[in-house]
């Protein structure tokens, strides 16, 4: 009979590994034997090892394992439908639901929300189609026009949407379908950063608690969810470092599942050392109830409004881009800043190698004989 095994992704010696869930003396799974993590289901087919996401709970994993075992048993008895044929006949809304179930098992919550938003929009447009098999490249071109006109998406957003759609269609046996469409040209935008003047106004309007929160954003380059899940144990006050670590029990994992350690200026750790701690709470910036604080963006915009700044231009992501730009401009090499930012590629970090903006005092001092007045520059 086909054998299906349940694995769990756990941290072993500072690395994430897939480990088989141990059995009890009675032969059942010992769900409490391993630390928190995501489940996966494993089996062998055609001499090759196969795996699929098993969800975040024991019941999810058991259901996926049961379904997979039944499929393997049916195939062994010659009762199973050809997988490609089965996929091609799957109703489009069912195919999207199944795909999102897989994404939920493999990706983080923020990524799942993005995929869900994109595919729900895709499903709404193709509501008259029964299966993915009926979609053509011309249909996808019409869909991109729809994204631009009805949803007012820019070129980069349209490309991002179509990448996710292409991944979904590939799983439906339509690999390469998007190669025949006319994707818009991507727009490379200059990185946005806060000016010294805006930062001074912003921090002057902060309460003591707000100053600590947003100084942490500005001097670490951390993403919003990384700050939300920042725990006191992540801060090393002696070495002036802050770690971005996984919190499996909360379903939080750093982007690309990679933890990192970021050196920070001493004034930040001194500020954090004075920050009040909630008894029994591990979070540095908890909600009033002692849970995770998910309203940091609202706090940011409230401060900007009090400071007389445009709250639409103030967001948590721009603190991160300001950090990257300032670190590179300060002379830190790109590879180092890449690690501090948690970027996958060097190219992503290099986007922040933006020219300095506060240059007008020096420009006004430039002298070109017969053209501009000012002190003559020789050399």
The domain of 290 spans 196-350
96 and 151 fall within a common domain? yes
276 and 298 fall within a common domain? yes
pLDDT tens for each residue of 202-242:
999 999 999 999 999 999 999 999 999 999 999 999 999 99
- As beta bridge partners, residue 265 has none
- Of 125, 147, 180, which residue is a domain's last? 180
164 and 63 fall within a common domain? no
Find the Cα–Cα–Cα–Cα dihedral 335, 340, 344, 348, rounded to 10°: -70
110 and 155 fall within a common domain? yes
The yes-or-no verdict on residue 32 having pLDDT over 90 is no
Residue 306 placed within a domain: yes
217 and 245 fall within a common domain? yes
- Of 180, 207, 238, which residue is a domain's last? 180
pLDDT tens for each residue of 233-286:
999 999 999 999 988 888 788 876 688 999 999 999 999 999 999 888 999 999
What are the strands of the beta sheet with 235-236, ordered from one edge? 235-236, 241-244, 260-263
- Write the burial class of residue 220 (CB in 10 Å: 0-12 exposed, 13-18 middle, 19+ buried): buried
pLDDT tens for each residue of 273-322:
999 998 889 999 999 988 999 899 999 999 999 999 999 889 999 999 99
Q: Which of 126-140, 167-181, 332-346 has the lowest mean pLDDT?
A: 167-181
202 and 173 fall within a common domain? no
pLDDT tens for each residue of 65-91:
888 888 888 777 776 555 555 556 788
**pTM for the whole thing?**
0.60
250 and 343 fall within a common domain? yes
Number of domains in the chain: 3
Residue 20 placed within a domain: yes
Q: For position 367, what pLDDT does the model report? A: 64
Residue 213, domain CATH: 1.10.443.10
235 and 200 fall within a common domain? yes
């Amino acid at each position: 009979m086909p054998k299906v095994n349940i694995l769990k992704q756990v941290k072993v010696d500072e690395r994430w590994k897939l480990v088989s869930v141990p059995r009890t003396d009675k032969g059942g799974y010992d769900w409490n034997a391993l630390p928190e993590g995501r489940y996966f289901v494993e089996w062998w087919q055609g001499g090759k090892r196969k795996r699929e996401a098993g969800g975040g709970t024991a019941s999810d994993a058991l259901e996926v394992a049961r379904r997979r075992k039944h499929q393997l048993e049916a195939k062994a008895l010659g009762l199973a439908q050809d997988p490609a044929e089965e996929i091609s006949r799957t109703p489009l809304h069912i195919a999207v639901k199944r795909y999102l179930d897989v994404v939920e098992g493999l990706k983080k919550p923020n990524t799942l929300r993005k995929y869900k938003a994109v595919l729900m929009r895709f499903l709404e447009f193709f509501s008259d189609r029964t299966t993915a098999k009926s979609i053509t490249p011309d249909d996808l071109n019409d869909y991109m026009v729809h994204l631009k006109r009805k949803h007012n998406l820019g070129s980069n957003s349209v490309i991002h949407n179509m990448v996710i759609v292409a991944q979904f269609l590939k799983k439906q046996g339509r690999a390469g379908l998007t190669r025949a469409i006319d994707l818009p040209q991507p727009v490379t935008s200059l990185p946005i950063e806060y000016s010294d003047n805006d930062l001074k106004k912003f921090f002057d309007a902060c309460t003591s608690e707000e100053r600590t929160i947003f100084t942490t954003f500005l001097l670490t380059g951390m993403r919003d969810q990384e700050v939300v899940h920042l725990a006191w144990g992540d801060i090393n006050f002696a070495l002036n470092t802050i770690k971005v670590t996984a919190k499996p029990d909360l379903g939080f994992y750093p982007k690309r599942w990679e933890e990192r350690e970021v050196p920070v200026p001493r004034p930040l750790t001194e500020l954090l050392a004075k920050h009040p701690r909630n008894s029994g709470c591990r979070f540095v910036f908890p909600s009033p109830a002692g849970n995770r604080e998910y309203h940091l963006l609202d706090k940011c915009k409230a401060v900007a409004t009090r400071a007389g700044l445009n709250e639409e231009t103030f967001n948590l992501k721009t603190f991160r881009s300001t950090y990257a730009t300032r670190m590179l401009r300060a002379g830190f090499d790109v590879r180092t800043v890449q690690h501090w930012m948690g970027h996958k590629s060097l190219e992503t970090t290099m986007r922040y190698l933006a020219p300095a903006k506060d240059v007008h005092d020096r420009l006004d001092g430039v002298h070109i004989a017969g053209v501009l007045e000012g002190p003559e520059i020789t050399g």
